Amino acid sequence: MVISLGAIALAVLNWLTLLIAGRPWGVTWGFTLWTAKIAQLFGWNPATSAFWSQGMGAEALRKSIFADTISVMNFGVVLGAALAATLAGRLALKKPQSKLAIVAALVGGLMMGYGARLAFGCNVGAYFGGIASTSLHGWLWIVFALLGTGIGIKARSIFRLSN
């Protein structure tokens, strides 16, 4: 029963996002926009990128990150997760296990981010949105996500991380 309610809630929220944002629910777009804005602060010129120099990308860069619905939703997800962890007494800043663990997190994060952009999103945008829209790419996403998970688990030993 709880799973059914969760599925219904996800479907309704995805539908509301489509109505409000004008596009399906996605998470990685907001992080991509934030990264492009930060890159601009360090001197990156968006005119060097076809994606960021025209259309939706250029328009998003001209506006505040608070003008983008998906970006604002990401703030809500991050703040909501922090609030939930705080209320559960589980929010804690921890020292990384090692410098190698930091490298592993950076490499893994960059690979996941790059893969998410290639796949038009993460488990929300590419998988959930893909399956909901009957697109083949959603099914391909899950196959490669599972393969990537297996590779990532095996690669943890390279960085001296336990499984």
The series of mean pLDDT values per 10 residues for the chain, 163 residues long, is: 82 86 84 94 94 93 94 94 96 91 93 85 82 85 92 92 84
Query: pTM of the entire structure?
Result: 0.78
Per-residue buried b or exposed e for 129-157, using 16+ beta carbons within 10 Å of the residue's own CB: bbebeeeeebeebeeebeeeeeeeeeeee
Cα separation, 153 vs 95, in Å, equals 22
Contacts 24+ apart (CB under 8 A), 120-123: 121/26, 121/27, 121/28, 121/29, 122/26, 122/27, 122/28
Q: Cα 38 from chain centroid?
A: 17
